[in-house]
């Protein structure tokens, strides 16, 4: 993914499902050598060791997350994954020790989840499902049973592979799904709700900025029994 600003490319994201392959690391290193001044984000990984390796290869922002997305089926199809908050905490600690950054990719279903990601040390948070169904997301509005919906699908889904890669390879399985989400109109109200939640989170813990949030945050392990009784997350 390339980001253009003023006609020039300044930001590049090298995005693969499995950031642990030697070929991926080699490609990242060669890309950095060829483009030393670009801001480079790459992933996905979920461990501190691999975060460190990517940063030492020249990555500015490591993308963190395997399987947490609402339309990702990697964990069910392969049994591979890692709890997202734990991954964020571990990868952020590794990245910040080398003056790198991380982007938490997936798993947020509410503004509180975004606050927890920042509290865990994330520098950026990527959203999919929370922003799906809006006008700005593209795609056509579909009428079903008197209600309006928009399609939302993962990039490893059969729909995405048929659209962008000519279909699912015969030796592979889809690791994403397509869902219909209710049409939600302009994204502005949703974004305002997210920002409001983050502001309140900062107020509760005494943080003046998002960067301060992680310094004011303490996570407490909650058992399933307590979670059911108190309705916690």
Residues designated as active site: 72, 74
23: tokens are 């070929």
Q: Which residue has the tokens 């994330």?
A: 122
59: tokens are 């990555």
Q: Are 104 and 117 in contact (CB under 8 A)?
A: yes
Please, where are the H alpha helices in the chain? 22-34, 48-56, 74-78, 84-97, 111-119, 158-164, 188-205, 210-213, 224-230
Q: Taking the CB of residue 224, how many other CB atoms lie within 10 A of it? A: 7
Q: What is the DSSP string of 104-117?
A: EES---SHHHHHHH
C-beta pairs of 136-142 under 8 Å, 24+ apart in sequence: 136/186, 136/187, 137/187, 141/183, 142/180
Report d(CA 83, CA 78) in Å as an integer: 15
């Amino acid at each position: 993914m390339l980001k253009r600003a003023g006609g020039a490319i300044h930001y590049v994201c090298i995005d693969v499902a499995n950031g642990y392959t030697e070929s991926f690391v080699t490609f990242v290193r060669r890309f950095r050598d060829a483009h030393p001044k670009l801001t480079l984000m790459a992933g996905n990984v979920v461990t501190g060791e691999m975060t460190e390796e990517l940063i030492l290869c020249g990555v500015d922002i490591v993308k963190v997350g395997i399987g947490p997305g609402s339309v990702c089926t990697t964990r069910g199809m392969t049994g591979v994954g890692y709890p997202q908050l734990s991954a964020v905490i571990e990868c952020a600690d590794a990245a910040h020790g080398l003056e790198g950054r991380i982007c938490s990719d997936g798993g947020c279903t509410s503004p509180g989840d975004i606050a927890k990601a920042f509290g865990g040390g994330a520098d950026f948070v990527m959203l999919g499902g929370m922003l799906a169904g809006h006008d700005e997301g593209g795609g056509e509005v579909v009428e079903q049973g008197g209600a309006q919906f928009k399609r939302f699908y993962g990039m490893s889904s059969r729909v995405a592979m048929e659209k962008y890669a000519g279909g699912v390879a015969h030796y592979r399985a889809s690791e994403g799904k397509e869902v219909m989400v209710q049409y939600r109109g302009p994204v502005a109200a949703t974004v305002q709700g997210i920002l409001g939640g983050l502001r309140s989170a900062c107020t509760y813990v005494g943080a003046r900025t998002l960067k301060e949030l992680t310094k004011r945050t303490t996570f407490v392990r909650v058992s399933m029994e307590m979670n059911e009784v108190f309705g916690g997350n």
